[in-house]
Amino acid sequence: MNFVEVMCLLLHVIRPPHFARRLCTSSIEAAERERAKDPSLVWEVIQKAIAEILVMKEQHLVAAGEHYPSQNNFFEMMRFEFILDEFLKVYLLKVKRTPEFDSAKSAEELLLYEQLLYNLFSLTGVLRKLVVTDNSRDNTDERDMITSHKHISVFAKVCRSSSCKENCHTKEVCEPCKFCPSKTIKEHLLRAHTEFLYRGDFKRLFPPPMFKIEVRSIV
């Protein structure tokens, strides 16, 4: 059996790095090529499984965050372990909360841990070149330089219509218009955009992307 480790941060999951890929990709791709299948399907199954589990446990995650004064920066690391059978069917082995990092046994493993922690701290706001706190009154210009209302503005044509301006609840599409959401909702949207900019090697699993973008090499 092949062993796959996936490190997950709430609804974010690190993209399979070179080191993790080297552990299993060669055997996966060889077997997949024999069956004329796409090797990336294995990773899609793993990511879907993680998202489904986290959504299922959402209430428990929310309850855990209620013990802290601030609800904005709560995060938790989890370690998902999977196994694959000879037919490349994915099985969840176990999930560990607050996973420990074993001593690196190679330069590649050390780099994996370093990149994981760096991207984690960047995503959560612990480590950023410019840190913007919610309670600061003097850094509005600095925050706007990174993320401003133009980055969360949508449906410009619809929002300019008289129907949306007169009543935000007239149409569902009006609700995200710039003048409709509450101050709290706007702050959540601005923070989400900032997280997106600082996501590093992480990507959001849920909600899934509205469009699937295919990246092709030009070399």
Q: What is the 3-state secondary structure (H, E, C) of 13-32?
A: EECCCHHHHHHHHHHHHHHH
Per-position pLDDT tens, the chain of length 219: 334 444 444 344 444 444 344 445 555 555 555 555 666 788 888 999 999 998 998 888 888 878 888 777 677 788 888 988 777 788 998 888 766 776 667 787 788 888 888 888 888 888 766 555 555 555 667 778 888 888 888 888 888 888 888 888 878 888 888 888 888 888 888 888 888 888 888 888 888 777 665 545 444
CATH among 3.30.1330.30, 3.30.470.20, 3.40.50.970, 1.10.10.10 for 2-128: 3.30.470.20
- Residue carrying the six token digits 């009006």: 174
What pLDDT, in 10s, does the model give residues 161-184? 888 888 888 788 888 888 888 888
Contacts of 53 (CB under 8 A, 6+ apart): 80, 92, 95
Sequence-distant (6+) residues with CB within 8 A of 42 are 28, 32, 84, 88, 90
Does the pTM surpass 0.85? The reply is: no
User: Residue holding tokens 């709430």?
Assistant: 10
Helices and strands, number each (H, E), in the chain: 8, 5
> What integer pLDDT is reported at residue 49 of this predicted model?
92
Query: 58-65 vs 40-56: helix axis angle to the nearest 10?
Result: 60
Terminus-to-terminus CA distance in the chain, angstroms? 35
The domains of the chain are located at 2-128, 140-196
For the chain, what percent of residues have pLDDT higher than 70? 68
